[in-house]
Structure 1
Amino acid sequence: MAVSARLEVFLNRKGIVYDTLPHDEVQTFDVAVSGAGVSQDEVVRATLLIDLQGVVMAVHGFHTAIDVDAVADLTGRRMQLLTARQADRLFADCEAGFHPPIGGAYDVPVIVDTPVLKFSQAYMASGASNCLIRMDDRALRLALAGAKSGKIGIIDQAQDISPVNAEGITLEEVAQRLQKLNRLPPMPALALRILRLTAHPEATAKELADLIEYDPSLTAQVMRYARSALFNYPGQINSVQEAVSRVLGFDRVAHVAMGIASVRAFDVPRQGALGMDAFWRHSLYCAFLCQQMAIKSKADKGLAYLCGLLHNFGLLLIGHLFPSEFEQLNRLREANPEQSMRTLELQVFGAGQEYLSVGHGAIGGILHRLWQLPDAVVKAAGVHQSAQYEGDEATYVHMVQLANELLKEKGIGDEFNPADSAPLLETLGYTQSDADSFIASVDAVADDLDALARSLSA
């Protein structure tokens, strides 16, 4: 199938001229665009919205998400995102995820983001997984004739820890607003004591063990970690101090214990793609991979581990402070694997809690700054959604980003859109062989990481 049947009939009936661009069969529209060698600034796509009156198609650029407030202003209707499964049923003659942004072919009302109408040419889905369509500007306007137009798009770009984001609100203002929330969790006392202990270069394994052993649950978790096949220690381990001195080392125990203790600040449901079960699995896998990368590049492996372990705390904070919005985000993540987290966050938070639209990464970075965690941890959390970051602590940020890209292939994490690890490998000085080695190392301990994740989220 080159072009969906209904689309072909519609275009032919309207006398709309178009070109087809065949390509290898791919799994998602994003991969098709990336592999076709076309300018992404000339790609248009469709987002389906729904309310009690029915479905509306929003047509917008490849790098934009839909501003639901702007849509409400344009249409007078408050609509929600249609799930991928629902959209696939509407486009029954198309392959899943390859929905043409031509609502007229499917008797669906259309609204258009104004910049699209200024494109000199446009590339779009054809309904097939092995073909794109190209139209010139006249053909595009004919195909969208009768649609309402307005500024309904928001740039879908991860925000850096920088002075101002796209909404005009500074991150300093975000931090101030967060601090005013009486539900903002302080760092748990035990985690704070561990953090303070690690700041002293003369701190001993006994002092750390004594701290951990104040908490029986934390003690059990650290002991389980030390006894796991992750380390293959041949002898018996009978105390936290032995776990520190014989197996794990001071920094690793401190970082694991601080992470476990810190998570207790949040009340987040266990289930779902963003729930606590998935959080711990993602965090442990990411931390392990970051540690392997640090060994390869001679970076601080303890700090790399901590960056991977804590980089997604922003999601926990959102879930803790805004449970209804988090529930919606959790549902959207499961229903729309092809969408980026930034796109989904903008759709959920662009309306009510506008200062959360900076993204869970920036929110997590702000929390880590308020908790006075190391700069590398702050940056790894704050800008891990920013693909082009090149600022302070970039090595640790890039390690977290690369770990997340590699984990996409295993369905682990909160991003499931197509992975492209090549630029990060080059930036960090790794080869594809190194990436294969990192993946093999995590495969070797996957069962133990999974068991540990289950025990930590219980």
Structure 2
Amino acid sequence: MTLPSRVQKVLDEWQITYCVSQPSYPMSTASQTEQTMTQLAILEDSHGRVQVIHPANRILDLNKMFTETAREFTPVDKNKVDKIRQGLNLEAIPALPQVTGFETFVDQSLLELDDIVMALSKDQELRIAKNDFQTLVSSARVGEFCVDIPHVNLPPAQWQNSDRKDIHNAIENFTQLRINQRLEETLDMPPMPETAQKIIDLRMDSDAETEELANLVGKDPGLSAQVISWANSPYYGVSGSITNIHEAVIRVLGFDLVINLALGLSLGRALSVPKDGPQGYIPFWQQSVYTAALMAELCRALPVDKRPSQGVAYLCGLLHNFGYLILGHVFPPHFSMINRHIEANPSINRYFIEQHLMGITREQISSSLLNQWNLPIDVCCAIRYQNEPDYKGEYHILSAMLYVSARLLRQEQVNDAPLEAIPQAIIDCLGLDMIKAEAALEKVMEAKDDLQEMARQLHQG
């Protein structure tokens, strides 16, 4: 295999013995990554830019960097990193200090390995021996800059009590908020929108009719306009124009979808989207709209005996990342810290980064709040377990669908889920034909312009 000229020059000048191969794990979680795989992060502070070489299966901890160096680093903007990479004519910047020439820091744990592997491209890896790597980093500063990915046990079936304890611990450690009996009071949350509470009540009425739903949504002009706009979207292929909620229900969306759509939109409007998200982060509403659309399509791809309500699946998609809004509202300084670590560790599932930094995840905090707001337990459990592939509880179909949806959409770069393979056990659990799943994804992506417009309207409120 031919090496990039810049890399070849470094290896030749330093007389390095090396081996080139195809990636061992083309799509895997960080915990599955080969122990010797390295990651290179480019950081900066007021003194300039540096590069940190560390194991790909460990979290680069910016707090440890500060403790070791007394320098407050932040990740370099992804667009700027891309310019550096393009200027070097590389597909990926390898963990070779001489390629960029930046001041270099190396995590101590790498020096204890027998050999080192680094990515050169999606199809090419470079492996060098321990002694050669130590020669290349001989002028680098060595320290303990990383932590292991935390081991997270599968949440118990009765997760509500244990999660409440974790959330209270985080609140006491990271905020000045007082612990109250009700979670929304503890979190200093705005009250649940009145419309949302009435929709929840209506959902529980087995005799509810279209007229009641139309009247309820129609009393909220903003929500009504959003639902009507949704029904008029080319995505649903309606002929003619939809001018009221009644038509949206009868002609296009159906009662089940409208009542869940209205509930999801009403809750989503209760909190503003944080401005200090990770650099390059896919916008909140864009992720919500794509996930909701794919969840609805996946319902049709499942065997009949495993299909949940399409409306409930859609609601799960809309609210799957609701915890992002809550974290930004309740923990502003720590929300920023989490996001900087997400930027510095693009190969690590942010679920583990949140666990490491705060001891809770957005899934815990959102499912707990939604549960206290009396949302359906199947929705709460789906959101709570969406990153738990081993969950086999009563509502595992919806959580597994969220898991699959997130990873399929990540392949299209329209969400921020980890780029990892979908376990065969989840596919088997759902009875999912992956050909049908890919067809569902293709249908959603064909409507990309329509979905982007729907997300834009939601963002504008």
Q: Which moved more, 1:90-99 or 1:101-110?
A: 90-99
- 1:98 deviates by 1.6
The aligned counterpart of 1:289 is: 294
- 1:390 deviates by 4.9
Give the whole-Å Cα distance in 2 for the aligned partners of 1:90 and 1:271: 24
Q: 2:94 aligns with which of 56, 81, 100?
A: 100
Which secondary structure state, in structure 2, belongs to the residue aligned with residue 315 of structure 1? helix
- 1:243 deviates by 3.7
Deviation string 1:125-158 (CA, Å, 9 cap, x unpaired) is: 34x5653211233333333334444432234579
Give the whole-Å Cα distance in 2 for the aligned partners of 1:39 and 1:342: 13
Given the superposition, is the C-alpha separation of residues 388 and 326 from structure 1 closer, same or farther in structure 2, using an over 3 Å criterion? Answer: same
Report if the CA contact (8 A) 1:42-1:119 is conserved.
Answer: yes
Give the whole-Å Cα distance in 2 for the aligned partners of 1:54 and 1:344: 30
The aligned counterpart of 2:17 is: 17
Report if the CA contact (8 A) 1:276-1:457 is conserved.
Answer: no
The aligned counterpart of 1:191 is: 196
The aligned counterpart of 2:439 is: 437
The aligned counterpart of 1:251 is: 256
Report if the CA contact (8 A) 1:161-1:171 is conserved.
Answer: no
- 1:68 deviates by 0.6
Is residue 164 of structure 2 the alignment partner of residue 172 of structure 1?
yes
- 1:322 deviates by 4.9
The aligned counterpart of 1:166 is: none
The aligned counterpart of 2:54 is: 60
Deviation string 1:153-184 (CA, Å, 9 cap, x unpaired) is: 23457967637xxxxxx743442255465532
Report if the CA contact (8 A) 2:116-2:128 is conserved.
Answer: yes
Report if the CA contact (8 A) 1:100-1:125 is conserved.
Answer: yes
Q: 1:114 aligns with which of 85, 108, 116?
A: 108
Matches within 5 A, 1:213-224: 213-224=218-229
Which secondary structure state, in structure 1, belongs to the residue aligned with residue 128 of structure 2? strand
Matches within 5 A, 1:306-317: 306-317=315-326
Given the superposition, is the C-alpha separation of residues 140 and 54 from structure 1 closer, same or farther in structure 2, using an over 3 Å criterion? Answer: same
Given the superposition, is the C-alpha separation of residues 247 and 133 from structure 1 closer, same or farther in structure 2, using an over 3 Å criterion? Answer: closer
The aligned counterpart of 1:84 is: 78
The aligned counterpart of 2:370 is: 368
Give the whole-Å Cα distance in 2 for the aligned partners of 1:247 and 1:88: 44
Give the whole-Å Cα distance in 2 for the aligned partners of 1:11 and 1:155: 30
Give the whole-Å Cα distance in 1 for the aligned partners of 2:299 and 2:322: 21
Which one-letter code corresponds to 1:112 in the other structure? V
Give the whole-Å Cα distance in 2 for the aligned partners of 1:344 and 1:47: 19
Q: 1:266 aligns with which of 251, 264, 271?
A: 271
Give the whole-Å Cα distance in 1 for the aligned partners of 2:340 and 2:63: 20
Report if the CA contact (8 A) 1:44-1:61 is conserved.
Answer: yes
Q: 2:129 aligns with which of 109, 133, 136?
A: 136
Report if the CA contact (8 A) 1:269-1:276 is conserved.
Answer: no
Deviation string 1:6-34 (CA, Å, 9 cap, x unpaired) is: 5545444544432222x4xxxxx997576
Report if the CA contact (8 A) 2:51-2:104 is conserved.
Answer: yes
The aligned counterpart of 1:26 is: none
Which one-letter code corresponds to 1:61 in the other structure? P
Give the whole-Å Cα distance in 1 for the aligned partners of 2:253 and 2:372: 28
The aligned counterpart of 1:145 is: 138
Which one-letter code corresponds to 1:70 in the other structure? K
The aligned counterpart of 1:167 is: none
Give the whole-Å Cα distance in 2 for the aligned partners of 1:372 and 1:275: 34
Give the whole-Å Cα distance in 2 for the aligned partners of 1:444 and 1:4: 36
Given the superposition, is the C-alpha separation of residues 186 and 33 from structure 1 closer, same or farther in structure 2, using an over 3 Å criterion? Answer: same
Give the whole-Å Cα distance in 1 for the aligned partners of 2:374 and 2:25: 40
**TM-score, structure 2 normalization:** 0.78
- 1:43 deviates by 0.8
- 1:59 deviates by 1.8
Give the whole-Å Cα distance in 1 for the aligned partners of 2:225 and 2:292: 20
Matches within 5 A, 1:341-380: 342-343=349-350, 346=353, 354-355=357-358, 358-380=360-382
Q: 2:64 aligns with which of 48, 59, 70?
A: 70
Which one-letter code corresponds to 2:57 in the other structure? H
Given the superposition, is the C-alpha separation of residues 374 and 6 from structure 1 closer, same or farther in structure 2, using an over 3 Å criterion? Answer: same
Which secondary structure state, in structure 2, belongs to the residue aligned with residue 58 of structure 1? strand
Which secondary structure state, in structure 2, belongs to the residue aligned with residue 220 of structure 1? helix
- 1:70 deviates by 0.9
- Percent of aligned pairs with the same amino acid: 26
Which one-letter code corresponds to 2:200 in the other structure? L
Which one-letter code corresponds to 1:381 in the other structure? I
Given the superposition, is the C-alpha separation of residues 390 and 236 from structure 1 closer, same or farther in structure 2, using an over 3 Å criterion? Answer: same
Which one-letter code corresponds to 1:288 in the other structure? A
Q: For the aligned residues, what is the CA RMSD?
A: 4.0
Deviation string 1:313-344 (CA, Å, 9 cap, x unpaired) is: 122223334557667877998x88x9257459
Give unpaired runs (5+ residues) of structure 2: 157-161, 172-182
Given the superposition, is the C-alpha separation of residues 449 and 77 from structure 1 closer, same or farther in structure 2, using an over 3 Å criterion? Answer: closer
Report if the CA contact (8 A) 2:33-2:57 is conserved.
Answer: no
Give the whole-Å Cα distance in 2 for the aligned partners of 1:90 and 1:292: 40
Which secondary structure state, in structure 1, belongs to the residue aligned with residue 263 of structure 2? helix
Which secondary structure state, in structure 2, belongs to the residue aligned with residue 40 of structure 1? coil
Which secondary structure state, in structure 2, belongs to the residue aligned with residue 42 of structure 1? coil
The aligned counterpart of 1:339 is: 346
Give unpaired runs (5+ residues) of structure 1: 24-28, 164-169
The aligned counterpart of 1:305 is: 314
Give the whole-Å Cα distance in 1 for the aligned partners of 2:233 and 2:429: 33
- 1:123 deviates by 1.1
Matches within 5 A, 1:443-454: 443=445, 445-454=447-456
Give the whole-Å Cα distance in 1 for the aligned partners of 2:74 and 2:136: 25
Which secondary structure state, in structure 2, belongs to the residue aligned with residue 124 of structure 1? strand
Is residue 58 of structure 2 the alignment partner of residue 49 of structure 1?
no
